[in-house]
Each structure stands twice: as C-alpha cells, then as structure tokens.
A and B are shown apart, each in its own frame.
Chain A
Amino acid sequence: MPAQNPVEQLNGRGLSHVPRWLRIVVIGRNPKVTLARAAVLAVLCIVVFKFTLLHIRVEGISMLPAYQDGSAHFVNQLAYLWHEPRRGDVVSIRLAGVHLMYLKRIIGLPGETVVFVNGRVLIDGEVLDEPYEKLPCDWNLPPEKLGPDEYFVVGDNRSMPSQDHKFGKVERNRIVGKAVL
C-alpha cells in the first residue's frame, strides 16, 4: 500500500479538491511540524510583546524633536532588570496601567536636587548638558530634592510654558521600561 501524504492523511478527502501546492503553502508539507512551529511562534510573540517589548504610539509634542507626534516605538520592559534607570534615558511611566503612559526623559536621579534657571537644568548646582533639547526654554523653577526612590522626568520640548507641560518627580515603581527603536 503506497504511503499517503501527511497533508492528505490529516485532511482526508475533505481538501482533495484543493491544489497540492496551496495545501503546502498554507499548512506545509508536514502539518504536525507546522502546528508545532505555529505554537512556538505564538508563545514567542506573547513573551516578546507582552512581557518584553511594549508597542507605543506617541501622542503630543512634549518629546519633540526626538519623538514625533504619532510616531510608533517600543518600550523595553526588561531594560532595568540588571541596572537602574540612568540619566538621559527616555522612559515610559505608567498611570493606573500601561494602556496610557507618559513618555519622558530622566534628568534627575535619586537623592539629587534639580532646578531650572533660565531654561537650563542644574543638578546639585551643576549645569546639565542636554544635547537632545533643541527648542528654546525659559523656565525658572524652584529646586526639587529627590527622594531615595525618585527620579525627575521631563519632556525634551520645553518651548511651552511649564504649566502646560507634564513633568516632575516620579517613583521608581512607575517606570515601566526604556524607549527603544
């Protein structure tokens, strides 16, 4: 008795009218292997896109010019597994969950004092070099002393009045990950 094609074995006569090449394209030469591959791919997708990379879409102009309004990016949730957030990192900050988050840049680290003088940022009295800030800023804000678990975050676009910009101290547990890509 001649050996039956695995595709035919699986589908019996139900798919006999479907051209062989189409069956191979859709379910492969060996359906069991295809199924196993699909399962591995599904698990991989869940692990990558649920627990590692979060897809985000930027809404608003607070991170201009580095992050354009409407642009799509990813947030690496494992970025701070081995080390703590660093100055200059662009991070996503959760509100009640991760469906809507803030995208900001870290300028102040725990224990530091942050102050804005004529648009320049001073960390513990020293001027912070900010090559990413391209737009004019004239903010003058009182010093903010950060706690042992607090970071100071702000957008790159500080051309608007400070009242119209969301920034300030954020607790470490609110930082979801680092923006990548």
Chain B
Amino acid sequence: MKIVFRFILLAALAALGVWLWLVLFPGPEKIIRKRLTELARTASFSSGESDLARLAAAQSMAGFFATNGEINIDVPGRVQHTFIGRDEIKQAVLVVRSTLGGLKVQFPDIKITVAPDKQSAVADLTVEANVAGDRDSIVQEMKFTFQQTDGQWLIARVETVPTLS
C-alpha cells in the first residue's frame, strides 16, 4: 500500500513538473496560438471607437507583422488587395476601422505546423468575421506564415486559401 501511495505521489509530482515546464517554457505552437488569439482580439472592435483608440489598435495590429510583412487577399470576383510593410498594413487597418461600424474576428480552427528548425511556422486557419449590422458572417480560409525574429514570432505573410476554386 505504501509503495502504491509513493508511486501515485511520484506520478502526480511528475505531472505537475511537466505542467509547470509547459507553462513556463511554452513551445512555438502554443506561443503562435496565443499570438493569433491576441490578433483576433485586436482586430475586433465595436462602434464608437475614438480616433486615438483606432490609431493605437492600428499600431498594435502592425506590430504583429514583420517589418516587411505582407497581406495578400485574393477572393476571385470579390476582392483583391496586397499590403506590404507595417505602414501599409497600419493604413489598411485604419481605413477598415473608420469605415465599418464594428467587427468581430474569430479563428475557430487553427492548425499550426512548425518548421524543423523552429524558426518559421505556418498556421492554416479559418477566419470568421462578423461586421456590425450584417447578418451573415464572412468566412475565409487563410494561411499565416510566421517567422521568429529576435525571439518574437512575427507574421511574415498572410494569404487567402481557395477552399473552392
């Protein structure tokens, strides 16, 4: 009985150790997942946003991207845009936030593949965006390419994925 108890205690301690290790030193996948959740939260906004808040959000959004980060949106027959560099991305965010009355962005499905060298990663995800006042949500599959720069995971490229071609 004593041995069983010791064994259970040891197993519990080992599990606690693993959990603590994962909390203190999260792997790239966990960090990227967290970054994406933050990105979705930053991209979302409600009506009545002040100019200062809008500017701060745009600045914050641009900060998720690498200096030469690129967004390539290509939905045939609907929209086709490319934004290169933080400044262009910031401007685009400002335009979107001043045009729309509100936006809620979510990533309900995220699939992350980290490169063997752990310096880059690809996140395939579904974007669900609800524009204030619109009943139907916008759904689009996208691919985010991350790269590690100075210990930070930054978005190098965002592109649309054609689910139906």
Measuring CB to CB, which residues of chain A are less than 8 angstroms from any residue of chain B? Answer: 59-60, 93, 95-100, 102, 104, 153, 163, 166-170, 174
Decide yes or no whether B136 CB sits under 8 A from chain A: yes
Instruction: List chain B positions with a Cβ less than 8 A from chain A.
Output: 77-78, 108-111, 124-126, 128, 136-137, 139-142, 161, 163-165
**Given the interface contacts A59-B136, A96-B124, A99-B126, does A168 sit within 8 Å of B165 by beta carbon?**
yes
* Chain B positions within 8 Å of A169 at CB level: 164-165
Q: Is the CB of B164 within 8 A of A96?
A: no
In the complex, what distance in Å separates the CA atom of A102 from the CA atom of B77?
A: 19
Q: How far is the CA of A100 from the CA of B111 in the complex (A)?
A: 14
Question: Using a Cβ cutoff of 8 Å, how many contacts connect chains A and B?
Answer: 51
Q: Which residues of A contact B128 (CB under 8 A)?
A: 100
Return chain A residues, CB-CB under 8 Å to B110: 96-97
Q: A96-B141, A100-B139, A168-B165 are in contact. Are A163 and B78 (CB under 8 A)?
A: yes
**Residue in contact with A102 in the complex, picked from B125, B137, B161, B163, CB distance below 8 Å:** B163
Shortest distance in angstroms between B135's beta carbon and chain A's nearest beta carbon? 9
A163 to B78, CA, bound (A): 7
List 13 contacting pairs A-B, 8 Å CB cutoff, sorted by A.
Answer: A59-B136, A59-B137, A93-B163, A95-B139, A95-B140, A95-B141, A97-B126, A102-B164, A163-B77, A167-B164, A169-B164, A169-B165, A170-B163
